[in-house]
A and B are shown apart, each in its own frame.
Chain A
């Protein structure tokens, strides 16, 4: 569904992405892992067209994405740090998104808004919200249009345990519908039950891309945390 070929991106002297080639297939739930600053977010942003790679090309459903925009209507993106116009309320932001993506005649998935209890906060301005609430808004927007692809950048960071659990439940539910889900997270313990593949990066390079089962067999560890720890220290 998403294929990237030899993409390279440099910021100043830092090579954020170094010749990354990858293909993500529908129905998988992939964990993008790696130490801080290894290029996970840059990769995600390249897929979204927010960052323009220096070299290489990315295809979405066999179509190159450069200078395209329609393909984004089948992506739901939850950024690591959601930034929203200060003087808009939650309701304003959600309505604006609905208005802008109206042409996609899918049914609106407002389940998360309900389970997070955001209705009561609808009239609050974005700049008065706590980091966690903001994160909830980002999550709701990502799932709102039932997109085929979900890209979640550190989805549970800053969420309280209850909300985090609700979000995970939602991710599992969407995964079962056969959607492609990309997750980055540093809380590996919560990924075990979600993911099917691991994509591990270091210093802008791809270290390995394996099925979770394969990884567990190779390392002989049962939990993802331990398996990754073994690789990182090896």
Chain B
């Protein structure tokens, strides 16, 4: 397991995309903090960029990387190696290198400009989102054999989580505005890791005006502390379920 992980990480590090991603994040983070006079405002702008960019890069890069590793996977499955350790090494390699990229690119500027509980929560959320979307990518690449289909599925999933889901929730809210939907809203936000991440930070930032409906209800329902804890727990589920599912698929896959 450790050996394979080493080869995966060395290979990803040699790939320049992760490096470019790191610099891109660094550039965005530094310019956002320098443009805004108030670092809290900067953090909020950064939040919106992170919530779009991090899932996108994590899911697309991971999906393509997994397909491009098909030779590596094929070579290893005929060797005395557990299938599980091949798959988990791929996951571990992607998750750790993308997390490191996020930490250097966004984490360090946040710590420099806004090192309080909110900043730390934001770094944690970014890291969690990275791993969640790597895990979803593992699933997308694990269930489709065709590369084009797999990447298409990944893009669709990203689109769903970043845009379509919110539209659906809004639609649902307007359709059923005569009913008390607070409980339902809380439930819905657990269905979308990006929403969970957003709520987490907004709860921390204590700016209810900017929170949006979902976040407001969430806060009312849980209060700060438990809310953050529960949403981290939700993110953890979002990492484990797709990963385990893809692992199950992979262990029966014909190569």
Which residues of A are at the interface with B, using a C-beta cutoff of 8 A?
Answer: 11, 45, 48-52, 67, 69-73, 75, 77, 79, 83-87, 93, 96-97, 99-101, 104
Asked whether A70 lies within 8 Å of B71 as measured between CB atoms, the reply is no
Asked whether A83 lies within 8 Å of B11 as measured between CB atoms, the reply is no
Chain A residue, CB-CB nearest to B77? A50
The 8 A CB mask of B83-104 against A (1 = contact, 0 = none) is 1000000000000000000000
Given contacts A51-B254, A83-B75, contact A101 B7 (CB under 8 A): no
Residues of A within 8 A of B69 (CB): 85
Asked whether A51 lies within 8 Å of B80 as measured between CB atoms, the reply is no
With A and B bound together, what is the CA distance between A120 and B22 in angstroms? 38
Asked whether B79 lies within 8 Å of A101 as measured between CB atoms, the reply is yes
A123 to chain B, nearest CB (A): 16
Asked whether B254 lies within 8 Å of A72 as measured between CB atoms, the reply is no
The 8 A CB mask of B226-255 against A (1 = contact, 0 = none) is 000000000000000000000000011111
- Name 26 interchain pairs, CB-CB below 8 A, sorted by A: A11-B254, A45-B255, A48-B77, A50-B77, A50-B78, A50-B254, A50-B255, A52-B252, A52-B253, A52-B254, A67-B251, A69-B80, A69-B81, A72-B80, A79-B78, A83-B70, A83-B71, A83-B74, A85-B71, A85-B72, A87-B11, A97-B79, A100-B3, A100-B76, A100-B80, A101-B79
Interface bin, chain B: 20 to 34
With A and B bound together, what is the CA distance between A174 and B174 in angstroms? 76
With A and B bound together, what is the CA distance between A69 and B83 in angstroms? 8
Asked whether B71 lies within 8 Å of A84 as measured between CB atoms, the reply is yes
Question: Which of A86, A87, A96 has most B Cβ within 10 Å?
Answer: A96
Asked whether B78 lies within 8 Å of A48 as measured between CB atoms, the reply is yes
Is B48 an interface residue when CB atoms closer than 8 A count as contact? Answer: no
A160 to chain B, nearest CB (A): 24
Asked whether B78 lies within 8 Å of A72 as measured between CB atoms, the reply is yes
* Additional A-B contacts beyond A79-B74, A85-B69 (11; CB < 8 A): A48-B77, A50-B255, A52-B252, A69-B80, A69-B83, A72-B79, A79-B78, A83-B71, A84-B71, A84-B75, A85-B11
With A and B bound together, what is the CA distance between A51 and B251 in angstroms? 10
B144 to chain A, nearest CB (A): 16
Residues of A within 8 A of B11 (CB): 85, 87
Given contacts A69-B80, A85-B11, contact A51 B255 (CB under 8 A): yes
Asked whether B77 lies within 8 Å of A100 as measured between CB atoms, the reply is no
Residues of B within 8 A of A50 (CB): 74, 77-78, 254-255
With A and B bound together, what is the CA distance between A69 and B4 in angstroms? 15
